[in-house]
């Protein structure tokens, strides 16, 4: 349908990383200013190549990874929008282009090529910034990929990057004392004996983290006066009255415009009830949240109930942009449907109707953006192997966070017990 536009050459040979001294110098100021502490566990004798799996909370993750692998070189898997207007640079420093949440055999071959020349294939398997400072779902294929590459499996888990610059408000909070743990989970010999499921389970366990719990444990205070601004993008449902999409935030306050309930985000990252609790939902058995990830998981549980009942459904008109290569192409209006069958996008472009489907049983997660590029607002971006669709719902109440939760719950619903 969209073959008339130039597309990225996804199979292009991957270069080795160049400009390493310059990259090290560019990373150094942030590492110093945030007083990053790196701990290495079971890394004695581990040399490239090895498979590096990193958690993902902010751009700072890449800078810490540069420190962790010093003085060696890595080839990082980077989402296609990262290549926008700077493809030449990212190619030059050895980045590998990927469309998110697609099954891409070309990528697997490229990672094998990187390993064959002695470099580190580096992957951020969560494939998006964490929405609330906790681990996201990992692809079930991690174990199979590790077995195919036959390399030691190393994880790099960072703490403090989300609370320093959360996805829903990227302002730098100047957090100091961030921490990262680099750990070898499997040597080549251990990998050979392990099953794909055992590898997946071990990686998944290592990736369990909670930046807000870490903040409290380390007594880190965030004095930024707008620290709650944008939090309603993640916490879209009121626990007092149950209403969705009526949460708002400003300064250090999170509130529901439907019932008037308010919470203050404290300097330690916790929430405390503030102001009138209209309707007093707590007396009706509603939860009283003080921990942001608990609220998020409560929303997930509510979405899960919709999925299990077979009632989850959303339909809207949306503005759509296409990213086949190096520029966004306005496609116009489209109909977006997200229901028990998955995502369906229908529209008309250049006098031709089109329909693109992403079955629920095949899409284990999706990527969302809040106020993306300041264009049309929040969006979900969905990918095929050739195209990336940026879809902005309009003239309706919605939450792209709910899209993400529903995508994950739908996948689990149809693929229970399929890992490995």
Mean predicted confidence (pLDDT) in 383-401: 96
How many CB atoms neighbour CB 78 within 10 A? 17
Q: Does residue 289 sit in the same domain as residue 335?
A: no
Residues 6+ apart with CB under 8 A from 53: 123, 124, 125, 142, 153, 154, 155, 156, 203, 207
pLDDT of 281 over the 70 cut: no
Residue 3 located in a structural domain: no
Q: Does residue 304 sit in the same domain as residue 320?
A: no
Q: Does residue 40 sit in the same domain as residue 165?
A: yes
Residue 364 located in a structural domain: yes
What is the spatial order of strands in the sheet that 352-359 belongs to?
352-359, 342-349, 329-339, 313-322, 388-394, 379-383, 367-369
Q: What is the DSSP string of 265-325?
A: E-TTS-EEE-S--GGGGGGGT-----SHHHHHHHHHHHHHHHHHHT--EEEEEEEEEE-SS
Mean predicted confidence (pLDDT) in 211-237: 98
Q: Does residue 241 sit in the same domain as residue 197?
A: no
Q: Does residue 161 sit in the same domain as residue 267?
A: no
Choosing from 254, 274, 308, the residue where a domain stops is 308
pLDDT of residue 285: 53
> Percentage of the chain surpassing pLDDT 70?
96
> What are 152-196's pLDDT values in tens digits?
999 999 999 999 999 999 999 999 999 999 999 999 999 999 999
pLDDT of 284 over the 80 cut: no
Phi, psi of 381 (to 5 degrees): -115, 130
Q: pLDDT confidence of 90, banded at 50, 70, 90? A: confident
CB half-sphere exposure, 247, CA atoms < 13 A: 28
Choosing from 289, 308, 327, the residue where a domain stops is 308
CB half-sphere exposure, 119, CA atoms < 13 A: 21
pLDDT of 282 over the 50 cut: no
Q: Domain containing 340: what range?
A: 312-414
Q: Does residue 202 sit in the same domain as residue 236?
A: no
pLDDT of residue 105: 92
Give the residue among 62, 65, 68, 64 at the shortest CA–CA distance from 40.
68
CATH number at residue 348: 2.30.29
pLDDT of residue 4: 82
Residue 13 located in a structural domain: no
Residue 5 located in a structural domain: no
Q: How far is CA 227 from the centre of its chain?
A: 21
pLDDT of residue 166: 98
pLDDT of 286 over the 80 cut: no
Cβ–Cβ < 8 Å for 254, 271: yes
pLDDT of residue 277: 57
Q: Does residue 211 sit in the same domain as residue 346?
A: no
Higher-pLDDT residue of 82 and 248 is 248
Q: Does residue 187 sit in the same domain as residue 139?
A: yes
Q: Does residue 272 sit in the same domain as residue 158?
A: no
Q: Does residue 37 sit in the same domain as residue 132?
A: yes
CA distances in angstroms from 64 to 30, 59, 86, 90, listed in the order given: 9, 9, 22, 18
Residue 362 located in a structural domain: yes
Higher-pLDDT residue of 420 and 227 is 227
Q: Does residue 181 sit in the same domain as residue 64?
A: yes
Q: Does residue 382 sit in the same domain as residue 343?
A: yes
Chain mean pLDDT for the chain: 93
CB half-sphere exposure, 56, CA atoms < 13 A: 20
Pairing of the two strands 367-369 and 379-383: antiparallel
Residue 11 located in a structural domain: no
Residue 263 located in a structural domain: yes
Choosing from 308, 324, 354, the residue where a domain stops is 308
pLDDT of residue 418: 59
- Burial tier of 295 (Cβ tally within 10 Å: 0-12, 13-18, 19+): buried
What is the tally of structural domains in the chain? Answer: 3
Residue 83 located in a structural domain: yes
């Amino acid at each position: 349908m969209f073959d008339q536009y130039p597309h990225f050459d996804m199979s292009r040979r991957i270069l080795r990383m160049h400009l390493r001294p310059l990259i090290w110098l560019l990373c150094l100021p942030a590492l110093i200013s945030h007083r990053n502490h790196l701990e290495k566990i079971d890394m004695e004798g581990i040399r490239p190549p090895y498979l590096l799996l990193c958690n993902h909370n902010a751009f700072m993750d890449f800078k810490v990874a540069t420190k962790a692998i010093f003085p060696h070189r890595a080839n990082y898997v980077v989402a296609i929008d990262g290549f926008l207007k700077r493809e030449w640079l990212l190619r030059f420093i050895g980045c590998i282009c990927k469309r998110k949440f697609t099954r891409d055999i070309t990528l697997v071959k490229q990672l094998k090529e990187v390993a064959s020349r002695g470099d580190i294939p580096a992957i951020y398997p969560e494939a998006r910034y964490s929405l609330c400072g906790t681990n996201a779902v990992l692809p079930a294929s991690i174990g199979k990929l590790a077995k195919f590459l036959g390399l030691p499996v190393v994880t790099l888990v960072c703490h403090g990057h989300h609370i320093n610059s959360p996805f829903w408000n990227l302002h730098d909070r100047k957090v100091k004392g961030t921490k990262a743990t680099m750990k070898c989970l499997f040597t080549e010999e251990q990998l050979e004996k392990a099953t794909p499921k055992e590898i997946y389970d071990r990686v998944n366990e290592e990736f369990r983290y909670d930046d807000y719990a870490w903040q409290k444990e380390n007594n880190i205070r965030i004095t930024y006066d707008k620290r709650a601004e944008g939090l309603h993008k993640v916490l879209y449902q009121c626990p007092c009255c149950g209403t969705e999409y009526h949460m708002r935030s400003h300064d250090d306050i999170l509130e529901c415009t439907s019932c008037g309930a308010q919470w203050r985000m404290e300097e330690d990252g916790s929430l405390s009830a503030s102001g009138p609790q209209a309707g007093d939902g707590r007396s009706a058995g509603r939860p009283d949240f003080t921990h942001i990830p608990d609220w998020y998981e409560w929303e997930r549980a509510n979405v899960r109930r919709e999925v299990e009942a077979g009632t989850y459904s959303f339909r809207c008109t949306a503005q759509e942009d296409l990213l086949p290569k190096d520029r966004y192409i306005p496609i116009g209006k489209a109909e977006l449907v997200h229901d028990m069958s998955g995502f369906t996008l229908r529209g008309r472009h250049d006098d031709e109707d089109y329909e693109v489907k992403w079955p629920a049983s095949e899409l284990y997660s999706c990527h969302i953006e809040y106020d993306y590029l300041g264009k049309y607002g929040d969006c979900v971006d969905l990918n095929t192997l050739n195209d990336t669709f940026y879809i902005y719902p309009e003239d309706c109440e919605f939450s792209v966070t709910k899209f993400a939760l529903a995508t994950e719950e739908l996948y689990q619903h149809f693929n229970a017990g399929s890992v490995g």
